């Protein structure tokens, strides 16, 4: 039960939903940058939503399955194909032993996720299985995947086995899949401009009137300095009314902080646990997946919403995920 890495891609890491309870020790939360995509991928193969999967960045890997496997690819469309045939995303797919999964052109988004029934069976460290690149721990040997790595898979759940069993009856193609797919509308295909909903950040009021307006009106461009820690943006330079005496304190994913040069930084999964820059905005949790799909060169705008509205959106999203869990339980074939 394993997958062999034939080509590693630009940056492919094992990720789950991150670590909880260790930020007070300076240990980052980490986890999938687009947690929605990973949760859905896992549910589609009958796994727990927090099972470990692969996070694939822009230029994807080539992977060989050493066993028949039930998989799902979600997130950004990086043109996945199996043995030359395009692989449908956002749905469970059964691939045979020996199948070669390859990623190609990045059509939309920045990060794709691969879940396999049973999850990637890497050791749990500090309550998580995700790769913590800077500390060199977690995931597969604490690092990005390399050619020749053999990734062990866990034992699929009963639901996963049942789904695989039903799919295996339909054959004749390089893989077997279903006709429906999960909701993926949050990644607009081919668009160069994204909009995320955001609340005012803790230091919002300390910026000049102009900066406050620009922050929520003008689009910013994602610079090449984008990684799992965060995304440096360029556009209107944001300035404070007067210098603010800031002490380092905890920061959150989706925080838009502004260093002295005025160009905001949007924080993602691998952000440091603490920061000392003024925070102009806070991206709503439901739109973090959009932010995680932002590519260098793309534009991003922040649309102001209230905390109440963000809570409503959050509840709706979690209700959707719960419905999906129910749906997968009743064996949807």
Q: How far is the CB of 20 from other proteins (least distance, A)?
A: 5
Q: How far is the CB of 23 from other proteins (least distance, A)?
A: 5
From the list 273, 260, 248, 256, the residue with the least C-alpha distance to 204 is 256
In 284-306, where does DSSP find H-type helix? Answer: 288-292
Token pair, residue 323, equals 């419905």
Q: How far is the CB of 161 from other proteins (least distance, A)?
A: 30
Contact 290, 194 (CB under 8 A): yes
Q: Which is nearer to other proteins, 276 or 297 (CB)?
A: 276
Q: How far is the CB of 140 from other proteins (least distance, A)?
A: 15
Indicate if the alpha-carbon torsion angle 187, 183, 114, 97 is positive or negative.
Answer: negative
Q: Which is nearer to other proteins, 20 or 208 (CB)?
A: 20
Question: Which residues share a beta bridge with 111?
Answer: 57
DSSP 126: T
Token pair, residue 126, equals 């500090």
Q: Which is nearer to other proteins, 234 or 252 (CB)?
A: 252
Half-sphere exposure of 268 (CA within 13 A, CB side): 21
Contact residues: other proteins, CB under 8 A? 20-28, 125-126, 134-135, 137, 199, 201-202, 245-250, 252, 254-255, 272-274, 276, 282-285, 307-308, 310-311, 314-315, 318
Distances (CA, A) of 70 to 9, 97, 113, 233: 22, 11, 14, 38
Q: Which is nearer to other proteins, 24 or 185 (CB)?
A: 24
From the list 90, 272, 105, 275, the residue with the least C-alpha distance to 183 is 90
Residue-level length of the chain? 333
- What is the b/e burial string over 181-215, where b = at least 16 CB atoms within 10 angstroms of the residue's CB? bbebebbeeeeeebebbbbbbbbbebbeeebbebb
Q: How far is the CB of 186 from other proteins (least distance, A)?
A: 17
Q: How far is the CB of 60 from other proteins (least distance, A)?
A: 29
Q: Which is nearer to other proteins, 123 or 224 (CB)?
A: 123
Distance CA 42, CA 266 (A): 27
Q: How far is the CB of 194 from other proteins (least distance, A)?
A: 19
To 10 degrees, the CA torsion angle through 62, 224, 50, 144?
50
From the list 29, 179, 168, 47, the residue with the least C-alpha distance to 113 is 47
Q: Which is nearer to other proteins, 224 or 276 (CB)?
A: 276
Q: Which is nearer to other proteins, 97 or 205 (CB)?
A: 205
Q: Which is nearer to other proteins, 107 or 316 (CB)?
A: 316
Q: How far is the CB of 309 from other proteins (least distance, A)?
A: 9
Distance CA 143, CA 295 (A): 22
Token pair, residue 21, equals 């309870």
Contact 8, 145 (CB under 8 A): yes
Q: Which is nearer to other proteins, 155 or 309 (CB)?
A: 309
Q: How far is the CB of 246 from other proteins (least distance, A)?
A: 7
Question: Judging by DSSP bridges, how do beta strands 265-267 and 255-257 pair with one another?
Answer: antiparallel
């Amino acid at each position: 039960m394993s997958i062999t890495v034939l080509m590693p891609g630009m940056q492919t890491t094992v990720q789950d939903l991150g670590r909880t309870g260790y930020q007070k020790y300076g240990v980052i939360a980490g986890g999938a940058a687009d947690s929605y995509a990973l949760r859905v991928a896992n549910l589609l193969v009958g796994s727990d939503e927090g099972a470990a999967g692969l996070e694939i960045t822009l230029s994807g890997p080539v992977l060989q399955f050493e066993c028949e496997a039930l998989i799902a690819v979600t997130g950004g469309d990086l043109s996945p194909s199996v043995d030359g045939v395009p692989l449908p995303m956002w749905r469970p797919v059964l691939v045979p032993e020996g199948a070669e999964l390859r990623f190609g052109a990045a059509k939309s988004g920045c990060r794709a996720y691969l879940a396999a029934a049973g999850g990637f069976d890497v050791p749990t460290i500090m309550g998580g299985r995700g790769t913590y690149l800077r500390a060199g721990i977690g995931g597969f040997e604490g690092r990005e995947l390399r050619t020749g790595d053999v990734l062990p898979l866990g034992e699929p759940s009963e639901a996963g086995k049942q789904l695989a069993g039903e799919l295996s009856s339909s054959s004749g193609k390089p893989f077997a899949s279903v006709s429906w797919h999960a909701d993926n509308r949050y990644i607009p295909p081919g668009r160069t401009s994204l909009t995320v909903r955001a609340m005012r950040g803790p230091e919002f009021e300390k910026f000049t009137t102009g900066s406050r307006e620009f922050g929520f009106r003008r689009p910013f461009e994602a610079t090449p300095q984008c990684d799992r820690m965060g995304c440096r943006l360029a556009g209107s330079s944001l300035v404070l009314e007067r210098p603010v005496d800031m002490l380092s304190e905890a920061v959150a994913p989706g925080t838009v902080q502004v260093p002295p040069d005025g160009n905001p930084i949007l924080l993602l999964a691998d952000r440091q646990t603490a920061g000392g820059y003024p925070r102009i905005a806070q991206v709503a949790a439901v739109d973090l997946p959009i932010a995680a799909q932002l590519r260098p060169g793309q534009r991003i705008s922040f649309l102001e919403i209230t905390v109440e509205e963000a809570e409503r959106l959050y509840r709706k999203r979690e209700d959707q995920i719960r419905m999906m869990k129910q749906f997968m339980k009743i064996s949807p074939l």
